[in-house]
Structure 1
Amino acid sequence: MPTGLRVDYAAEVIVEPAGGDGRRGSGYLIAPRKVLTARHVVRDATAVQVRFNADRPGQTECTAAVIWQHAENDIAVLAVPEAPPANPAEIGKVGERDAVIHAGAVGFPAFKMRIAPDGSRYRDAEHVHATCAVLSNRREGTLDLSVPPPAPLANGSPWAAMSGAAVSAEDASSE
């Protein structure tokens, strides 16, 4: 089973881009005051907010700033001065061997849009359980996660805003 995933480290990333409608993504608190997300989520951002534990004890919403990004790998690191305390996340690599591993992620995709009793809208968390054939996508250098599909939405991808969610996987580095 996947290890190390902490739901309280999962972050909603709320972005105001230059000259456009707002967008959302997911992220993960990887170290004190640092959130890892997808670069395309924060690209051209004029303002970034990060929310942890929405409508739960310990809810935190704060301003963030992009402090590092890598276009080719589609990753970005956000500085979040008001983030809750965090221990450094274990970051690893999947080894090359004939295996199918189990993985998990927590994010805030479009298909989790809900309406609260007061009529306000929010996105709830989605805890994804996936499998990953380790040898797939070797040339590209990416992981191919297989997940059960959600119901389609009338407009857009149901997975919109899941981008940036951290993936936690069982150890597949050896054997």
Structure 2
Amino acid sequence: MHTGKCLVAWLIVSLCYIGLGGASKDVNEGRIAGPLCSNCIKIQRKCTVSHSGLFCKNKTDREKILFSNSLGQKLYTLDECVPHKYNVTGPILDWCCLWSPKLGCQQLAGIYYQNQSRWKDTCEICLHSCICDEDSNGVVKCSPLAGWLAALGILGILLSRSYLRS
């Protein structure tokens, strides 16, 4: 009699487990949802870069992108939008912009940002964050040091002219 109750209890638990999808779960369902690369090919001609960097709208997202350790294993394969010097250590929620001379200006879309209908085509927002070598008109930007040197040169010319007149 005791065995019959155990058999019925086991049968009920098994049916509940199968009914909830426990026995038919896909192997990939257990994966953590992660960031994906946006399609930033259209903005590459508008922004060439000579240094690497990153910007995240969300501070928590920024904390999940660290300098890469070549010995460490990468959690996500995002080679088309994340420079090799960085490693994404967990899922991000919003969006981040990353740039390097090799990849140009790229966008990494987080799990909530991917809920937007056109998230793959929103790289334009990264043009404000990526450190481009030229401005929006395509004119190469001068570094701050070059600007200071030019100002000192002009000041030197003006001072030498006033010295020669006196």
* Bin of the TM-score, shorter chain as denominator length: under 0.3
Task: Tell me which protein shows more strand as a share of its residues.
Answer: 1
What TM-score do the two structures reach when normalised by structure 2?
0.24
Task: Tell me which protein shows more helix as a share of its residues.
Answer: 2
